[in-house]
């Protein structure tokens, strides 16, 4: 981790060439959810190749751009597409943008994803507010010598997703007649999807949805001192006794169909963030 500090500084230096604003919120947009950038008054758009030490996003439907601008007047940085462990990258590099958000001045991270539903009470197109997580990726972005400038050696994970912001998010959704679930997200390495036995196991250990992202970013956000709101769109149901082969095009289509609801929620969160100083 000792090389991260200089990498973060170099990335921030390039981003600051394109804005004088201090972002309040960092946003990471997952599979099929990139359209949310339409709600941003764009000041600048940077391909990830233009930002020092950002990786190349190879995942389907991920544009691979950093959006600098304002949402409802609130300065934001938004990743239009993320990096994944299954792409062959190191978790420290995958999560570098989260540290850049923090160094740029952000106080809140909004992280979204498309995921598989394990809870039989969920359905395709539903939204879940993440209240807790399980890391089954086989790695951790904090492994290595700790840099105390970036965060503590042993960050506490009793509340990775801020409970006050969970409550605010649910209230924002209800005001807009959207009724998301609340539950536990489990992250696996991927890229293959799970077997029936694995889906049974994941459900038995307490997971409501499963995906291949989000958890490393949240770990780093907690380490850095950011508040986190996590939003999952259920794009396919992973019920072992009624399992059918997954279709990536259908998954993306389901995420796209749910996007208007997600956009409404994110706009509300950003607006509320702009009205209060986050402790």
pLDDT confidence tier of residue 267, bands split at 50, 70 and 90? very high
Q: pTM of the prediction?
A: 0.95
Average pLDDT on 43-72 reads 88
CA distance 147 to 142: 10
Fold classification of 4-275 is: Rossmann fold (3.40.50)
**How confident is the model over 4-24, as pLDDT tens digits?**
999 999 999 999 999 999 999
**Pairing between β-strand 181-188 and β-strand 127-136 as defined by DSSP bridges:** parallel
Who's near 116: CB < 8 A, 6+ residues apart?
193, 194, 209, 210, 211, 234, 235, 236, 237, 238, 246
User: Can you give the pLDDT at residue 278?
Assistant: 60
Give the residue ranges of DSSP H helices in the chain.
Answer: 4-16, 91-94, 96-104, 163-175, 196-204, 215-224, 248-275
Q: Tell me what pLDDT residue 61 has.
A: 57
pLDDT at 62: 54
Q: What is the pLDDT of residues 250-262, one digit of tens each?
A: 888 888 889 899 9
Q: Please state, in angstroms and rounded to a whole number, the distance separating the CA atoms of residues 22 and 279.
A: 17
Handedness of CA 87, 90, 91, 95 (dihedral sign): negative
Kindly report the average pLDDT of the chain as a whole number. Answer: 93
Strands (E), 24-106: 25-29, 41-47, 65-71, 74-80
Q: How far apart are CA 71 and CA 65, in angstroms?
A: 17
Please tell me the least confidently modeled range out of 99-108, 151-160, 175-184, 234-243: 234-243
Residues 84-89 have a mean pLDDT of 94
The domain limits of the chain are 4-275
232 pLDDT tier (thresholds 50, 70, 90): very high
Closest residue by Cα to residue 205 from 187, 181, 182: 187
């Amino acid at each position: 981790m000792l090389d991260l500090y200089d990498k973060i500084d170099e990335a921030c230096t390039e981003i600051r060439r394109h804005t004088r604003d201090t972002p309040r919120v960092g946003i990471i947009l997952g599979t099929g959810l990139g359209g949310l950038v339409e709600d941003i008054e764009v000041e600048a758009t940077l391909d990830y190749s233009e930002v020092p030490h950002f990786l190349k996003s190879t995942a389907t439907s991920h544009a691979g751009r950093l959006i600098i601008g304002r949402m409802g007047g609130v300065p934001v940085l938004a990743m239009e597409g993320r990096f994944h462990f299954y792409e062959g990258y190191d978790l420290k590099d995958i999560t570098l943008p989260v540290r850049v958000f923090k160094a740029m001045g952000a106080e809140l991270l909004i992280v979204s994803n498309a995921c598989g539903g394990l809870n039989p009470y969920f359905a395709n197109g539903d939204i879940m507010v993440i209240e807790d997580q399980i890391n089954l990726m086989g790695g951790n972005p904090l492994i290595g010598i700790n840099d105390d400038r970036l965060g503590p050696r042993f960050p506490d994970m009793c509340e990775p997703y801020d409970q006050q912001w969970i409550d605010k998010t649910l209230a924002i959704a209800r005001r807009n007649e959207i009724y998301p679930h609340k539950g536990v997200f489990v992250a696996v390495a991927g890229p293959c999807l799970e077997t029936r036995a694995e889906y049974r196991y994941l459900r038995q250990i307490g997971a409501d949805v499963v995906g291949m992202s989000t958890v490393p970013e949240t770990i780093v956000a907690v380490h850095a001192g950011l508040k986190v709101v996590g939003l999952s769109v259920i794009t396919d149901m992973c019920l072992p006794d009624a399992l059918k082969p997954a279709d990536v095009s259908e998954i993306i289509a389901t995420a796209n169909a749910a996007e208007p609801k997600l956009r409404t929620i994110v706009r509300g969160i950003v607006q509320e963030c702009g009205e209060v100083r986050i402790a």
